[in-house]
Amino acid sequence: MKEKLIDLFEYTHHFNKEMIKYISENKPKVDEKTISLINHTLNAQQIWNSRILGEKSFEVWQVNPFESLHEINKQNFLKSIDIIQKSDLDQRVEYQNSRGTKFENSIFEMLFHAINHSTYHRGQINSLLKQIGIDPLLTDYIFYKR
Q: What is the pLDDT of residues 28-47, one digit of tens each?
A: 999 999 999 999 999 999 99
How far CA 52 is from CA of 47, 90, 135, 139, 141, in Å, comes to 9, 12, 36, 27, 25
d(CA 21, CA 60): 22
How much is the pLDDT for 6?
98
CATH number of 2-145: 1.20.120.450
Give the chain's radius of gyration (CA, Å). 15
Q: What is the pLDDT of residues 80-94, one digit of tens each?
A: 999 999 999 999 999
DSSP 136: P
Q: What is the pLDDT of residues 95-120, one digit of tens each?
A: 999 899 999 999 999 999 999 999 99
Q: Is 58 left (phi over 0), alpha (psi -120 to 50) or beta?
A: beta
40 is in an annotated binding site: yes
